[in-house]
Copies of this chain bind each other. A is one copy, B any other.
Amino acid sequence: MISRERILEAAGRVYAKHGFRGATTRLIAIEAGVNEVTLFRTFGSKSALIDAVLMQQAVSKPALELPATPIDPAAELTPWVQMNLERVREIRPLLVHSMGEIDERPEAAEFACRGRQMVHECITRYVRALQDNGMADAETDADTAAVMLVGTVMSDAIARSFVPAVYPPLDEAAERYTTAFLRMLGVKKVVST
C-alpha cells in the first residue's frame, strides 16, 4: 500500500504538467517508479486516479482563517493575503488544467471552485465585521471590494508567472493589495492598540 501514495503524488505532478489527456498512464507509472499495471489494480482506471488526486488536494487544505473580531486590519490581512497568494501559486498548474477541463470532466469542477468559494466567504465575513465595528465605511460596497481582493490574488498567483512585468514585486504584493483594499473600504490605519 506504499505505492498508492507514490502513485497519487506522481499523478499529481504529471497531471499538473500535462493535463488530463497528456497525463498518460505510462508517464505516471514511470514517474512513480511503479509498474503500469499496479496503477490499474490500485485505482481501476485513469479517470478514477485523477479524480482521487484532485479530491485529495481539495480536502487537504485546512482553510486560512481571519479573526472574527478585527483589531488591526492591515496586520491581520497582509499575511492572510500572502498565504493565499502562495497557496494558489502552488496549485496553479492543477487549477488551470482543471478549469480547462470542466466541460469534459465535470468532476474537476469541485476542485476548481471549492477553494475560491471558501476564501470568498472568509473575507466577506471579515469585511462585514469591519463595518459592524465601525472600522470601515458602512456605505461602501464591501462585497465588491472582497471580490476584487480575491480576484486580484487569483490573477496574481496564476498570471504572474507568464506576465511578470505588470505585477508588483513578489515581496510587496500582499502588502500593497491589502493597503489598496483597505483604502477602498475607508479603513483608517491603526497606529497602536
One of A3-11, A35-43, A55-63, A155-163 at the interface: A155-163
B163, A113: Cβ atoms closer than 8 Å: yes
- Cα distance A148–B29 in the bound complex, in angstroms: 42
A100 is an interface residue with CB less than 8 A from chain B: yes
Q: Is the interface of A mostly helix, strand, loop or mixed?
A: helix
- Cα distance A140–B112 in the bound complex, in angstroms: 34
A166, B180: Cβ atoms closer than 8 Å: no
Residue of B nearest to A112 (CB): B162
**Chain B residues in 8 Å Cβ range of A113:** 162-163
One of A18-26, A44-52, A71-79 at the interface: A18-26
**Taking the nearest CB of chain B, how far is it from the CB of A22, in angstroms?**
6
Nearest 9 Cβ contacts at the A-B interface = A151-B155, A21-B21, A151-B152, A144-B176, A120-B166, A96-B100, A148-B152, A97-B100, A184-B184
Q: Which A residues lie at the B interface, using CB under 8 A?
A: 17-19, 21-22, 93, 96-97, 99-104, 109, 112-113, 116-117, 120, 140-141, 143-145, 147-156, 158-159, 162-163, 165-168, 176-177, 179-181, 183-184, 186
